[in-house]
């Protein structure tokens, strides 16, 4: 059932547009259409959302034009859009809404979540960050955000950038390290799937008791002999060895500041 409230035009056809589009649809937000640069992708996403496809620079009239495009494309796409009394917002955690140009009502609607290919993500408990240039943009963005999620927070640019950095540390880097760990196993004809129960359990434990209590491993215990054995096994993998040493050094400094550093091993 459609709700009364701001209507939205979605601009973009990538992962963010896909997941946000479906979240808007589930929330009953009036979705006026999808606009993008590739006709095939626009047609496919619009069909999945049950709305009208548009090829940029054409966009439907709506209360909110929501740019779900890459950071590098934001400025160029924004310049193609018509002027009007609508709110223009992007979905980047790291960019100022000033990048959208001189339009009167600008803002940001950013979900703090890694959005991957697959089924539409449930954003109902995902924090949504709102930042607005004026009261009209704030009212529209908060209305739309609260229709999607029960966790909406307003953050200005510098706070958003801090959260964005923290999100990379907490999400992107661990996933890449999981990839590298799997690569080590494959080199020995072992399945990377051996790590998945550990990965899932550790993520759940960290969420339950916090990272300080969940963290284990040789550096957390101050076990320098095991760390040395690991570094020796990584002798031929310079980049990963350096990464292991630096992360272990950080953990030792946090929990065992009086122990010798990795450079002494």
Question: pLDDT of 134-144, one tens digit each?
Answer: 999 999 999 99
Q: What is the mean pLDDT of the chain?
A: 94
Does residue 264 have a pLDDT over 60?
A: no
- What is the reported pLDDT for 265? 60
The CATH 3.40.50.720 portion of the chain extends over 8-155
Of the pLDDT bands very low, low, confident and very high (cuts 50, 70, 90), residue 79 is very high
Residue 9 in 3-state DSSP?
strand
- What is the reported pLDDT for 260? 65
For 52-61, what is the mean pLDDT?
Answer: 95
Residues 144, 20 contacting (CB under 8 angstroms): no
For 47-75, what is the mean pLDDT?
Answer: 95
For 152-165, what is the mean pLDDT?
Answer: 96
Does residue 1 have a pLDDT over 90?
A: no
**98/23 Cα distance (integer angstroms):** 26
Q: What confidence tens digit (pLDDT) does each residue in 81-98 have?
A: 988 899 999 999 999 999
For the residues of 172-201, what is the DSSP string, one character each?
IHHHHHHHHHHHHHHHTT--GGGGHHHHHH
Q: What angle, rounded to 10 degrees, do the helices at 238-255 and 224-233 form?
A: 170
Does residue 34 have a pLDDT over 90?
A: yes
Of the pLDDT bands very low, low, confident and very high (cuts 50, 70, 90), residue 64 is very high
Topology, domain 160-264: 1.10.1040
Q: Residues near 107 by Cβ (< 8 Å), separated by ≥ 6? A: 87, 88, 89, 97, 130, 131, 132, 133, 137, 138, 140, 141
- The residue among 18, 13, 8 whose CA lies nearest residue 38 is 13
Q: What confidence tens digit (pLDDT) does each residue in 204-262 have?
A: 999 999 999 999 999 999 999 999 999 999 999 999 999 999 999 999 999 998 876 67
Does residue 2 have a pLDDT over 80?
A: no
Superfamily (CATH H level) for 8-155 = NAD(P)-binding Rossmann-like Domain (3.40.50.720)
- What is the reported pLDDT for 117? 82
The CATH 1.10.1040.20 portion of the chain extends over 160-264
For 190-210, what is the mean pLDDT?
Answer: 96
Model confidence, pTM: 0.87
User: Which pair of tokens denotes residue 138?
Assistant: 């704030």
């Amino acid at each position: 059932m459609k709700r009364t409230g701001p209507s939205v035009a979605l601009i973009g056809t990538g992962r963010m547009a896909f997941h946000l589009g479906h979240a808007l649809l589930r929330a009953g937000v009036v979705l006026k259409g999808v606009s993008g640069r590739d006709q095939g992708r626009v047609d496919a996403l619009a069909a999945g959302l049950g709305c009208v496809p548009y090829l940029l620079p054409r966009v439907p009239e709506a209360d909110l034009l929501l740019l779900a495009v890459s950071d590098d494309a934001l400025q160029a796409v924004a310049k193609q859009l018509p002027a009007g009394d609508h709110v223009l917002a992007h979905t980047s955690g790291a960019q100022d809404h000033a990048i959208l140009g001189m339009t009167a009502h600008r803002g940001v609607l950013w979900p703090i979540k890694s959005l991957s290919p697959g089924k539409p993500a449930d954003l109902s408990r995902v924090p949504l960050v709102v930042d607005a240039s004026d009261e009209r943009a704030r009212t529209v963005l908060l209305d739309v955000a609260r229709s999607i999620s029960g966790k909406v927070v307003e953050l200005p640019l510098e706070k958003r950038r801090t959260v964005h950095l923290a999100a990379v540390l907490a999400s992107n880097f661990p996933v890449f390290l999981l990839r590298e760990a799997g690569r080590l196993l494959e080199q020995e004809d072992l399945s990377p799937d051996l790590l998945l129960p550990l990965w899932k359990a550790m993520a759940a434990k960290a969420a339950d008791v916090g990272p300080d209590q969940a963290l284990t491993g040789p550096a957390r215990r101050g076990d320098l002999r095991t760390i040395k054995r690991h570094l020796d096994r990584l002798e031929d993998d310079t980049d990963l060895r350096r990464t292991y040493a630096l992360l272990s050094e950080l953990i030792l400094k946090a929990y065992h500041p009086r122990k010798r550093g990795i450079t002494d091993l």
